[in-house]
Structure 1
């Protein structure tokens, strides 16, 4: 029986919180039930609907796996500045780890890199040679198994973010385009210089705010 895994990420862009890579393994026949359950790209679902689908997906799946990339890890790789070995490569390695954990016959991924062959090649170099890997842009909107992975990753990241809000206050969405997030960051660095472990201080927005506060 063919086992297929969908793999996707949540939280690539925010300045706050982890990037979560999630994968979920199904029997190929069983996966055909996903569309009728309402499984689709997590961005098209409400938080409440994602949470209810999380349980349904886990009931249907053979197993699932996650790899959480914390801000300090992201910062270390981004600040290192090695060409083709920045965030895209880090995400490829996280996806490879999830694929190894799931051990499918075939894995479908939503690549972070616009050069899909490079991203898939990075994954294939570090997983067992018998696993087929297919990468396609917007795979989370095309393949239900990837949609399912996007839902699990998004729900997991949302829980991390809720814990951070509980501890540090409301920082908005965490995206640099969110005025509430920017205000939170500006306030945070008014009397602090060190980067806390829940922020990605390699992000341009935080660098700009810190530089302005230092003047």
Structure 2
């Protein structure tokens, strides 16, 4: 997963007017996964090495780090993991008492956007004392990994790897993380044991509803949720069906307009209606869609899709259509046509 630099052209949320740094526009639109790390506040970096001092004194201020995700269940858009860290003594007074962070699901979009704007404003107390990072797992990569022939890379494994990558990234940047709190949708004990194997010297607590129990997890939840919401809007604004409307007189999409695909969740009728109305009968959709989800599979394999049958090879091995659904060609090898098409944007002419 690339730790790329963000595109500096502004992309804004419907609720605010600042350029969200965790939106790497070109990478997002290409269908690739990526990570973003905020600058580490200087006060959290280790002091210059002093050969005469004990080794422990070279560590920076002890920090607490929270982990949460947004977008695990949708059929459209990325799943975003977020981490948020700050000095242990500041966690409750700064996050809960001063700025009123809470589980992102109980905050309005406007409040979430306002908190992110404050976090990204260099003169704010949040910016000077806190750091954060996100890992955006694209719909294309989620599907390709889950449909990998012979060795499925399931969503839980992808989520664990994203979490570990983010925590390691923070540690590698010199932050002295002493405590980690993680929100989980699965059994907390087993997930906690897995993380302890990666970070044996850190106090780790995994709990359900951690986003409402621990302020650092609430803040991570806001970072992940705002990043996913803006990413979904960017993908929608640049979808070929919107850029090339059938009606030339149709007004262009503007920030604040309702997206025709809704929230991207299968339970959202607008999402299913959009999928059905914008599906190529053979190739489906572009990099915004998770092909491994039941909703998209049912549409492709139902009456709206074209049934594809592959002849058996001479060695009697069965070739499956999912064998061609990969993220891209291996370096130095020729790419098959379907393999390079899957998960790439489709123009109106494809429909």
Q: Specify which structure has the bigger relative contact order, considering alpha-carbon pairs within 8 angstroms and separated by 6 or more residues.
A: 1
Q: For the structure 1 residues 49 and 31, does the alpha-carbon distance in structure 2 shift closer, same or farther, using more than 3 Å as the test? A: same
The answer on 1:6 being equivalent to 2:78 is no
Aligned to 2:101, what secondary structure does the other structure show?
Answer: coil
Could you say which residue in structure 1 is the equivalent of 2:113? 51
Greater shift in the superposed pair: 58-67 or 21-30: 58-67
Supply the RMSD in Å over aligned alpha carbons. 2.1
Q: How does 1:103-114 map to 2 (within 5 A)?
A: 103=171, 104-113=177-186
Q: How does 1:146-161 map to 2 (within 5 A)?
A: 146-161=217-232
Unaligned runs of 5+ in 2: 1-60, 172-176, 243-259, 307-351
Aligned to 1:140, what secondary structure does the other structure show?
Answer: helix
The answer on 1:24 being equivalent to 2:84 is yes
CA contact (8 A) 2:64 2:87 kept: yes
Name the count of aligned residue pairs.
213
In structure 1, distance between residues paired with 2:233 and 2:285: 20
Could you say which residue in structure 2 is the equivalent of 1:163? 234
Q: For the structure 1 residues 205 and 159, does the alpha-carbon distance in structure 2 shift closer, same or farther, using more than 3 Å as the test? A: same
In structure 2, distance between residues paired with 1:14 and 1:188: 17
Q: For the structure 1 residues 83 and 28, does the alpha-carbon distance in structure 2 shift closer, same or farther, using more than 3 Å as the test? A: farther
CA contact (8 A) 1:54 1:151 kept: yes
Selected match of 1:77 from 127, 137, 145: 145
TM-score, L = length of structure 1 = 0.90
Shift of 1:191: 4.4
Unaligned runs of 5+ in 1: none
The answer on 1:63 being equivalent to 2:125 is no
The structure with more radius of gyration: 2
Q: For the structure 1 residues 29 and 84, does the alpha-carbon distance in structure 2 shift closer, same or farther, using more than 3 Å as the test? A: farther
Aligned to 2:75, what secondary structure does the other structure show?
Answer: coil
